[in-house]
Amino acid sequence: MAELLGSIDQGTTSTRFMVFNPAGEEITKAQMEHEQILPQQGWVEHNPEEIINNTHTVVEKALRKAGLDGKDLAAIGITNQRETTVLWNRRTGKPVYNALVWQDTRTDKIISEIEKKGQGEIIWCKSGLPPATYFSAGKIRWILDQDPELAIQAEKGEILFGNMDTWLIWNLTGGPDGGRHVTDITNASRTMLMNLATLEWDTELCEIFGIPPVMLPEIRPSSGSFGNTLASAPFRTEVPILGVLGDQQAATVGQACFSTGEAKNTYGTGNFMLSNTGTAIVPSRSGLLTTTCYQETGKPAVYALEGSIAVTGSAVQWMRDQLGLISSAAEIEPLANTVKDNGGVYFVPAFSGLFAPYWRSDARGAMVGLTRYANKGHLARATLEAICYQTKDVLGAMDKDSGIALQVMKVDGGATVNNTLMQLQADILGVPVVRPQVTETTALGAAYAAGLAAGVYSSLDDLKANWRVDRQWEPAWSADQRESGYLRWKKAVERTLDWA
Ligand code: ADP
């Protein structure tokens, strides 16, 4: 029997396909970046057709590289950038607009109107999310508003909505020719349209945004059947799709955070900390999101508290692309190490407002504490510290909401290769930071979800046994140093508010 597990990881900046063996070890991988379309300030789009084409390319490339074909795969899982919204025509399969990406803030008027009408509370109570441009519902509304004809077609069920998981599955399972229109509970929980308690689309929430429920996909457990791929390209055989998880939930599964109170923090374009709250829906009083974590078919859903930070790794990209201070992301580490501390410089990269725990869309970025002494090394260090301080803000909210102080932080994501960043994180948090051997936990988590449904694993315990430490960092700063740094950070954050 085929035992290998494939995983499509459709991320914000790139799409990868990876194959894992049952021990969770990487067998092959291929990755491709896609264009970030930035038509104007605050707008971020992706071309959904480019993403489908890239998915085909990376699957074929990775399989070929390892001499594998679709028949070698027991199943595949899909994980994806969440919230990013695609609308397409059911008959032609053509997107009606570019995908509106989670970072896109063009829906701010739609959101502030909802708040003005006092509908924020009901959205928060039912979906676990505060109304924000971040989530899908406002993006669906915005696209429908572009053409009165579209809204009419949507009512008739001719226009379909999906996040990237749904868009990929629909295309891989047949497209206009019987493609499955499905999603999982974790992706659905990021739309502001799903009721967290019933795990179904909520009529009242759909009405608030004027979204016809016929355009929404069927919501399924994360581990279970989502249909089979076509026997044509890219797998060239029918492969069952048995796992779907939004990227952050996938990383939580990949990090084997299956017990209440276990948490992971992913360092990518943004940072996302998720803490497993078991089968309890815990409303946050501290600026976190309540969200679903995963669900196995036939079992109750598991929930999580989430702290989402919009700009972390992308601040490093900004230093590279907009400031030209470094020519690759990796160069930030040696540059930061040319100085012994931040030289009094604090950088709050509130480029698209501040997400958790502040939720201030009126904030904009600021660099403060500059003197004639500051050099680019200090800016690099302040950028790394900004990633760590934002994480401290979120961890503080987690501790408050859960009433339990985290003992050790499991980390993953592209930026965790930066050892200086990891040491700074332990120093700033005062909590040890631990990195697992497999840092591609997002792709791994989707493979795990598929493997559970395929019977490659018999239980979550099998997955826990796969988790192994690569390296651990211990806090080295004194309590005084930690406290005074954090006070400065909080002051810097204040300077960014009430700006836009
Ligand atoms: P995503 O899945 O969100 O696209 P990844 O997990 O691939 O992100 O991580 C990419 C991010 O990590 C980029 O924003 C990049 O700037 C950042 N990054 C990559 N290498 C480093 C490094 N050595 N130090 C700091 N940040 C880094």
pTM of structure: 0.91
pLDDT of residue 326: 97
Nearest Cα residue to atom 19 of ligand 1: 415
Ligand 1 pocket, 415 CB below 6 A? yes
Cα(439) to centroid(ligand 1), Å? 12
Cα(296) to centroid(ligand 1), Å? 30
Classify the C-alpha dihedral 95-101-105-110 as positive or negative. Answer: positive
Mutate to test the pocket of ligand 1, among 7, 18, 269 (most ligand atoms within 8 A of CB): 269
Please answer whether residues 220 and 245 qualify as being in contact, where contact means their C-beta atoms are separated by less than 8 angstroms.
no
pLDDT of residue 390: 97
Secondary structure of residue 85 in the 3-state scheme: strand
Cα(226) to centroid(ligand 1), Å? 30
389-to-125, 396, 492 alpha-carbon distances in Å: 29, 11, 11
Query: If residue 76 lies in a helix (H) or strand (E), which one and from where to where?
Result: strand 73-80
**Which atom, in ligand 1's list, is nearest to the CA of 331?**
23
Q: Which residues contact 311 (CB under 8 A, 6 or more apart)?
A: 269, 270, 318, 349, 350, 351, 352, 365
237-to-6, 68, 71 alpha-carbon distances in Å: 13, 12, 7
**Which atom, in ligand 1's list, is nearest to the CA of 266?**
6
Ligand 1 pocket, 77 CB below 6 A? no
Ligand 1 pocket, 310 CB below 6 A? no
Secondary structure of residue 189 in the 3-state scheme: coil
Q: DSSP per residue over 426-467, as a string?
A: HHHHTS-EEEES---HHHHHHHHHHHHHHTSSSSHHHHHHH-
Ligand 1 pocket, 417 CB below 6 A? yes
User: CA nearest 128: which of 389, 401, 395?
Assistant: 401
Query: If residue 205 lies in a helix (H) or strand (E), which one and from where to where?
Result: helix 203-209
Ligand 1 pocket, 191 CB below 6 A? no
Q: Which residues of the chain have pLDDT under 50?
A: none
- Residue-wise pLDDT tens digits, 267-311: 998 999 999 999 999 999 888 999 999 999 999 999 999 999 999
Ligand 1 pocket, 13 CB below 6 A? yes
Ligand 1 pocket, 329 CB below 6 A? yes
pLDDT of residue 359: 87
